[in-house]
Amino acid sequence: MPGRPCSRRRSTPDARRRSRALVSDDMLLTMPGADWAVAELYAAMVRFGMWDEILAEPAPNPKLIGLTVAHLYAKATALAVKGRIDEARAPLAELEKLAVVNHNAGLNQLKDVLAVAVLTVKARIALAEGRDDEATGILREAVAKEDQLAYDEPADWFFPARHILGAVLIRAGRGADAEGVYRDDLSRHPNNGWALYGLAQALHMEGRSADVLAVQQRFDTAWKNADITLSASAF
């Protein structure tokens, strides 16, 4: 299985706030939609499973809609993963209310991007409640919504829903289904380390040792400069 022992370096809240201070709220308010690019701060924290750090983050200026909804997404996700399900429903409800706002998010409308966010949070809540089959269906819907987004670099939705879907399928012992999900993702994001890790897990589950070795080599190349150890394609 891929992965190697290594340290897991995390930025401190003070460091993240200093990085936010480089672009003031006043400046962001003069550039409608620009706050969505800064909002990848929260997406990255979700990507790396920084649940406690997310919950310690203060809410952004509510006038910055992109930052606000990204914070709500991250907060709801963190609470769901930590099993604080009732608490997770409150930021999810706020997120759904704002998901109809007409606001730019890169080359997409924020409401289209948030359609993926809302579904992803709902899937996280379903997983926390042990409703894995329901979560799988919700994540497939999230994948379909993500595929409808306009192409942008970087992508306007930072965290591929397929990485969570694949991890859920692996957990359910559905190696062949997970393999299809990861190969589909790799056709869109070639040599992505997260997807390669999941693909190796799926192939291992299917007993395809030679294929695992080939994917392992690709993962090692993609992950050679990483400072975290994976246990799944999504935290």
Model pLDDT, residue 68: 96
In the chain the domains, ranked by start, together with CATH numbers, are 11-141 (1.25.40), 160-235 (1.25.40.10)
pLDDT at 67: 94
How far is Cα 160 from Cα 143, in angstroms, rounded to an integer? 8
Give the DSSP per-residue string, 100-113: T---EETTEEHHHH
As a whole number of angstroms, the distance between CA 55 and CA 113 comes to 22
CB-CB contact of 127 with 168 (8 Å): yes
pLDDT reported for residue 21: 52
Quick one: which of 46, 32, 48 has its CA closest to 88?
46
Work out the angle between the directed axes of helices 161-171 and 132-147 (0-180°, nearest 10).
160
For the chain, which residues score pLDDT lower than 50? 1-19
Q: What is the pLDDT of residues 15-58, one digit of tens each?
A: 444 345 567 888 888 887 789 989 999 999 999 999 999 999 99
